[in-house]
């Protein structure tokens, strides 16, 4: 099935995550411990910490968020894993997915048999304006930021380009948000464990409590179209188009393929992986797609010997709703310019032909940036193993894909997993 | 010769660096370009940028120093290498050495044949007090920093423990500094391209110019023992025990072993590599050595099938003079408690039995933290190939070792290189 150049395969045999959200009382090391403990419990045939040889930690900027760099040896020590090899990998919001890929290469090389992949970010200690500033350091701060851009602006520029090029209505973005909140409402680890209707109802009852005029939104679409419900951030991206500021940790256990069955009878095999880079947004020929995502996807499909139509479920990087629509095209699920129609038609819903972001995505599950790429793999772990509970996608799921983007597309990493029975 | 688990070997076939120093007019991407261009020129049989598949960039905290994270895709784009895979690796001051090791694993895995390793740091834009604060984020900022520690304090604690345990005199540290400045004086890329005598003479002539009393230092040792020449920082570490704040970039070209001769007739083979971690300094049983260095060295020697006595030259992590003495023991060059005697006896000088830091080390060459580990490899490249000019070590050099430490020893990576003719 695979066209891998790697001399040996790699499998996921355990996965755990903290709840994503805002936790003023917790530091990133606390979040790591929570995720680590859940990972331990997830290993069907038992986890032996003495076998772990390395930690690859995806983290964007604990330097800025917590004034704590050199995080990898600290969290390893915190769970008693010193003196294993530890390192932090940074590729902005793609740090987690890149950490997983690099850990897999280290196993493929024969250097390690058993490796932990972590993803961590603790963002909510700073004021929101400082968070926006810290995130902006993922763009080109010599040329883009002085021009007035921050990330909502980058994705707003992509969204307007997309709308103009493909005649897409703003409502397409609403449908992404509605769908991801529907999924998040079924995920108890999600920061927004609520549908848009739940949020509308809460706003209405708050208005009643306070004796204010009660807004009359007839539908979720109407709510999202009303600036009182969904205030503008950077048009056409409004509040419910943006992933939140989050704290969270995620941990995945990777082992060499020949050891996988010692840990579980249902491992996931990493059968495809690709990674690519790009210059700043201002240097690109197109604003309506992410070239690095197309390149990374092509590499991953080729290695896996698969086509986009083979993929059963995908977690894609919906830092903004436009990003999910572009991803659904960059990954080849829909032709260019068709992603917005698929979103409106419900083709990416849990019961659609191509379920995307069944976890709630970054939009509803939350986006602790360095953890997001690892969190995506945890959803694929759950869905392919049939343990996703109320949000379980039906049918015989075999192939799952994770698509993780850094910045406005300067980095993209795609990993493809298979369940084999 | 080697006991490698890797299915294929890795070789260094090119190396270049910027000058290390303080360059207010340059950003880290400028320093990267300088190093990259020198690397291109260094490839004997020619360098083809189209063959490069990935960039592994060691960088401690451009986030804090330059407000620029996500540096790897930016610098790759800056030299026209997009869309190659790019990532930043952070392990505090060991970021460069770890980046090299991880790049080597990626080649060993078969994923890539040709990979760039970069090391970068641009530190001097900040005020020195902010630099000290930024560096302090490499320690445990929940438990160590609130207790009042910064890095000179950590290494001062190690130095006093070492002095107490092994009856070492403070003069031993002076000898490390004198030797490294002697070497740096012969390295035109060094930040301090001066001997301690040069610095003494400059201070004397400055005093004469200004009509002030001229200090009468009879020797370098006397100068270093005088707080007017060598002010105290954190006793017993004085100014000339501390590596400087630096800007700098370094780039190394790694290829799969079977391709090495397409690039040069004299590649260096990476035959040993090890990496280990530890908890914060406050959690350790010993202050007079760095356990992670011992572990990493053991792994590297075992992989190479070598003993410490086989190593011809070593670049070790002398962020403070005490660190070089501990390294010379942790690496097995001298028995525990003997490193200080070897420093005094000149055994680590260029013409000694065990030349250490012929480049000038971090002390004199400079310490742009993320670049330092890659800079070490560049010295080994020059010495083993016999192109180190005035500072060339005599005799038939075959094995060189690089030892790169993060923080107060939470990370250590050791890489061993061989020249085979």
- Residues in chain A closer than 8 A to B138 (CB atoms): 69-70
For chain B positions 10-69, those within 8 Å of chain A (CB to CB) are: 27, 29, 54-55, 60-61, 63-64, 66-69
**Residue B91 · residue A72 · CB < 8 Å:** yes
How many beta carbons lie within 10 A of that of residue A40, not counting itself? 17
B2 has pLDDT over 90? no
Active-site residue set of B? 93, 367
- Residues in chain B closer than 8 A to A295 (CB atoms): 83
DSSP for B322-339 reads HHHHHHHHHTTSS-TT-H
pLDDT of residue A397: 97
- b/e code B5-17 from CB counts within 10 Å (16+ = b): ebebbbbbbbbbb
* Region B214-236 average pLDDT: 95
The burial of A421, by beta-carbon neighbours within 10 Å (0-12 exposed, 13-18 middle, 19 or more buried), is given as: exposed
**Residue A242 · residue A320 · CB < 8 Å:** yes
**Residue A412 · residue A291 · CB < 8 Å:** no
The shortest CB-CB distance from A292 to any of B83, B138, B406 is to B83
Q: How far is CA B101 from CA A108, B12, B124, B324, in A?
A: 14, 12, 27, 21
Q: pLDDT tens digits for B353-405?
A: 999 999 999 999 999 999 999 999 999 999 999 999 999 999 999 999 999 99
Q: pLDDT tens digits for B139-176?
A: 999 999 999 999 999 999 999 999 999 999 999 999 99
Q: How far is CA B36 from CA B30, B43, B45, in A?
A: 10, 11, 16
Pairing outcome for strands A232-234 and B232-234: unpaired
With CB atoms and an 8 Å threshold, state whether B277 touches A82: yes
Q: Which residues of chain A have pLDDT under 50?
A: none
Q: Which of B230, B236, B5, B250 is nearest to A256 (CA)?
A: B5
d(CA A19, CA A187): 10
How many beta carbons lie within 10 A of that of residue A256, not counting itself? 18
Q: How far is CA B196 from CA A353, B171, B179, B202, in A?
A: 73, 14, 9, 10
The shortest CB-CB distance from A73 to any of B88, B141, B411 is to B411
DSSP reduced 3-state for A271: strand
The shortest CB-CB distance from B73 to any of A27, A84, A410 is to A410
Give the torsion sign (CA, A18, A20, A25, A26). positive
Quick one: tokens of B261?
């001769």
Provide the percentage of residues in chain B whose pLDDT is more than 70. 100
Which letter does DSSP use for residue A194 in this model? S
Residue of B nearest to A99 (CA): B87
Q: Which of A178, A55, A67 is nearest to A119 (CA)?
A: A55
How many beta carbons lie within 10 A of that of residue A117, not counting itself? 29
Q: pLDDT tens digits for B41-85?
A: 999 999 999 999 999 999 999 999 999 999 999 999 999 999 999
Quick one: tokens of A135?
């995130």
Q: At CA A244, angle to CA A138 and CA A282, rounded to 5?
A: 30
**Residue A143 · residue A280 · CB < 8 Å:** yes
* Region B19-24 average pLDDT: 98
Q: Which of A227, A254, A315, A324 is nearest to A112 (CA)?
A: A254
Quick one: tokens of A219?
């539908």
Active-site residue set of A? 93, 367
* Region B18-40 average pLDDT: 97
Given CB atoms, is A279 within the 8 Å cutoff of chain B? yes
pLDDT of residue A421: 79
Q: Which of A333, A101, A167, A281 is nearest to B54 (CA)?
A: A101
Residue of B nearest to A414 (CA): B85
Given CB atoms, is A205 within the 8 Å cutoff of chain B? no
Unique residue bearing structure tokens 């190690």: B158
d(CA B210, CA B58): 44
Q: Which of A147, A223, A74 is nearest to B138 (CA)?
A: A74
pLDDT of residue A1: 53
The shortest CB-CB distance from B276 to any of A85, A98, A410 is to A85
Given CB atoms, is B105 within the 8 Å cutoff of chain A? yes
pLDDT of residue B1: 53
For chain A positions 129-188, those within 8 Å of chain B (CB to CB) are: 134, 137-142
* Region B182-208 average pLDDT: 97
Which letter does DSSP use for residue A390 in this model? G
Strand-pair partners of A416 = A272, A401
Q: At CA A376, angle to CA A371 and CA A378, rounded to 5?
A: 95
Band of residue B421 on the pLDDT scale cut at 50, 70, 90 = confident
- Residues in chain A closer than 8 A to B70 (CB atoms): 90-92, 137-139, 406-407, 410-411
With CB atoms and an 8 Å threshold, state whether B82 touches A137: no
pLDDT of residue A257: 97
Given CB atoms, is B279 within the 8 Å cutoff of chain A? yes
Strand-pair partners of A356 = A314
């Amino acid at each position: 099935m695979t066209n891998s150049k790697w001399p040996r395969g790699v499998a996921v045999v355990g996965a755990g995550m903290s709840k994503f959200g805002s936790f003023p009382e917790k530091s990133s090391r606390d979040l790591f411990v929570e995720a680590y403990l859940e990972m331990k419990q997830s290993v069907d045939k038992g986890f032996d910490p003495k076998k772990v040889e390395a930690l690859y930690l995806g983290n964007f900027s604990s330097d800025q968020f917590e004034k704590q760099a050199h995080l990898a040896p600290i969290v390893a020590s915190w769970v008693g894993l010193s003196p294993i090899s530890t390192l932090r990998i940074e590729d902005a919001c793609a740090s987690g997915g890149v950490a997983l890929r690099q850990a897999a290469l280290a196993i493929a090389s024969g250097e390690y048999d058993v490796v932990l992949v972590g993803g961590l970010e603790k963002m909510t200690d700073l004021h929101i304006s400082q968070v926006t500033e810290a995130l902006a350091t993922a763009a080109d701060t010599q040329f883009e930021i002085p021009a007035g851009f921050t990330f909502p602006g980058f994705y707003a520029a992509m969204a307007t380009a997309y709308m103009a090029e493909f005649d897409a209505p703003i409502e397409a973005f609403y449908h992404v948000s509605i769908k991801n909140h529907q999924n998040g409402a079924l995920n108890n680890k999600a920061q927004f464990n609520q549908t848009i209707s739940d949020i509308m109802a809460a706003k209405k009852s708050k208005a009643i409590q306070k004796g204010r005029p009660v807004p009359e939104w007839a539908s979720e679409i109407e709510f999202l179209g009303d600036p009182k419900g969904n205030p503008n951030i950077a048009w056409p991206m409004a509040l419910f188009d943006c992933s939140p500021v989050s704290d969270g940790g995620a941990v995945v256990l990777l082992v060499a393929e020949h050891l996988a069955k010692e840990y579980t009878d249902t491992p996931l095999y990493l059968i495809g992986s690709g990674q690519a880079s790009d210059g700043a947004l201002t240097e690109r020929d197109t604003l309506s797609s992410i070239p690095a995502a197309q390149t990374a996807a092509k590499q991953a499909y080729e290695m896996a010997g698969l086509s986009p139509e083979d993929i059963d479920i995908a977690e894609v990087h919906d830092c903004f709703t436009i990003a999910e629509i572009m991803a659904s095209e960059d990954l080849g699920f829909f032709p260019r310019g068709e992603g917005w129609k698929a979103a409106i038609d419900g083709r990416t819903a849990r019961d659609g032909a191509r379920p995307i972001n069944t976890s709630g995505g970054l939009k509803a599950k939350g986006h602790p940036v360095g953890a997001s790429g690892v969190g995506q793999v945890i959803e694929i772990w759950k869905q392919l193993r049939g343990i996703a509970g109320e949000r379980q996608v039906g049918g015989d799921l075999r192939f799952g894909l994770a698509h993780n983007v850094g910045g406005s597309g300067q980095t993209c990493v795609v990993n493809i997993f298979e369940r084999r029975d």
